[in-house]
Amino acid sequence: MSELELRTVAVGARPRVATVRIGTVLAVAFALYLLLACLVPDAVAPQDPNQIAPRDAFSPPSPAHWFGTDESGRDVYSRVVFGTANSLLIGVAATASGLTLGLALAVLAAFGGRVFDFTVNRTIEVLFAFPGLLLALLVIVIAGPGPVTATLAVGLSTAPGYARILRGQLLAVRRSGYVEAARVLGHRPRRILGRHILPNALAPLLVLATLGIGQAIVWASALSFLGLGALPPTAEWGAMLSAGRPYLATAWWLTVFPGLMIVLTAVASTVLGRALTRVRAREGATQ
């Protein structure tokens, strides 16, 4: 089981009160803020992220510098804002590649007959024996460190989890009562595939992607933090963390704030993913 599967498990099908929750509102607000920071960082950030001011180096958080300043006196908050686009891009690209690979494996397993199903299942099982970041680290050994490698490496590490969820989904839909009912009506396999199996099996893709982006950003920043992904002086959250590490004892704000953005993004992605699941369940109930 992967972390992602766990999240979908934890989301649960338990229908609860259909009110808009405060958590969802906060998550949507934070997502909008991130979007603004991506598109118009100049409007969000108070300063130029690369403007150095050696006299202001290592100033703690203050009204002038919300997140303090770094070793060159650059405003940490502005750098965090300007780093949003890079970090989100890595997360989105990693999730997209992981989902694509996972989907390909799942379709192969579900529709390729017994041999493919067996092979894909064994492959997924073997890939699970490279837990967490291990698979990503292996990719980096081969291809060398760097943001692009790190992105693809994270994508590859998440693929087995996606593959397992989507395969289960495809098989469940294929065995469902409504697919049988369509067969009894004499509809052709292609029509059943197009009208019932694919739309229903792939409906959770959006939820998976939403949940997965937070996860991917965390893993990619872990690689950056270890010096294997995006490197300083790039304004990227993981790279900023890594750059701040030597000053942990004296200037905690260099690591805590970029890290906090990662945490908030991950939480927001989970909250939004759950909210989407609820919306889907409710739509099913009231359409």
Partner 1 sequence: MNELLDVAGLSVRFGAETVVQGVDLALRPGECVAIVGESGSGKSVTARALLGLAGARAEVRADRLVVAGRDLRRATERQWRAIRGTEVGLILQDALVSLDPLRPIGREIGDAIRLHERGGAGAVQARVRALLERVAMPDPDAAMRRRSGELSGGLRQRALIAAALALNPPIVIADEPTTALDVSVQARILELLAEITAQGTALLLISHDLAVVSALADRVLVMRGGRVIEQGSTAEVLGAPQEEYTKRLIAAVPDHAPRAAQPGRPAHPARPAVLAVEGVSRSFARDGGRVQAVDGVSLELGRGETLGLVGESGSGKSTLARILLGLETPDAGTVRLDGEDWAPLPERGRRARRHRIGAIYQDSLSSFDPRWSVGRILRDASRGAGVPELLGQVGLAPELAARHPLTLSGGQRQRVSIARALAAEPEILICDEPVSALDVTVQAQILELLGRLQRERGLSMLFISHDLGVIRQLSDRVAVMQAGRVVEQGEAAALFARPGHAYTAQLLADAPRLSVGRVR
Partner 2 sequence: MTPGSASRVAARVAGAVFVLWAVATITFFALRLIPGDPALAVLGGPGSQASPEALEQVRQQYGLDQPLAVQYAAMLGRLLSGDLGQSYALKVPVADLLGAQLPGTVLLALAALAVAWLLALALALVSTGAGRVAASLASSIELTSAALPHFWLATALIALFSTALGWFPPVSTGDLGGLVLPVLTLAVPLAGFLAAVMREGMLDALAQPFALSARARGESAIGVSLRHTIRHAAIPAVALSGWALGTLLSGAVVVETIFARPGLGRTLLQAVTARDVPVVTGVVLVVAVVYVLMTLLSDLVSALVDPRRQAVAA
Residues that bind partner 1 (CB under 8 A): 176-178, 180-188, 195-196, 199-200, 203, 284-287
Provide, rounded to whole angstroms, the least separation between the CB of residue 166 and partner 2: 18
**Tokens encoding 8:** 């979908």
Torsion angle, alpha carbons of 95, 97, 100, 105, to 10? -110
Q: Which stretch binds partner 2 (CB under 8 A): 66-74, 92-100, 182-190, 216-224?
A: 216-224
**Residues 118, 167: Cα–Cα separation, whole Å:** 12
Please give the size of the binding site for partner 2, defined by CB under 8 A. Answer: 49
**Residues 222, 245: Cα–Cα separation, whole Å:** 13
Torsion angle, alpha carbons of 33, 34, 35, 41, to 10? 90
**Residues 98, 107: Cα–Cα separation, whole Å:** 14
Residues 76-135 that bind partner 2 (CB under 8 A): 122, 125-126, 128-134
Backbone angles phi, psi at 139, to 5 degrees: -60, -40
By rule CB under 8 A, what string of x and - marks binding of each residue 2-31 to partner 2? xx--xx-xx-x-x--------x--------
227 counts as binding partner 2 under rule CB under 8 A: yes
5-15 burial code (b ≥16 CB/10 A, e <16): eebbeebeeee
147 binds, among partner 2, partner 1, none (CB under 5 to 8 A by kind): none
Please give the residue ranges that form the binding site for partner 2 (CB under 8 A): 1-3, 6-7, 9-10, 12, 14, 23, 122, 125-126, 128-134, 137-138, 140-142, 145, 214, 218, 221-222, 225-228, 241, 245, 248-249, 252, 255-256, 259-260, 262-263, 266-267, 270-271
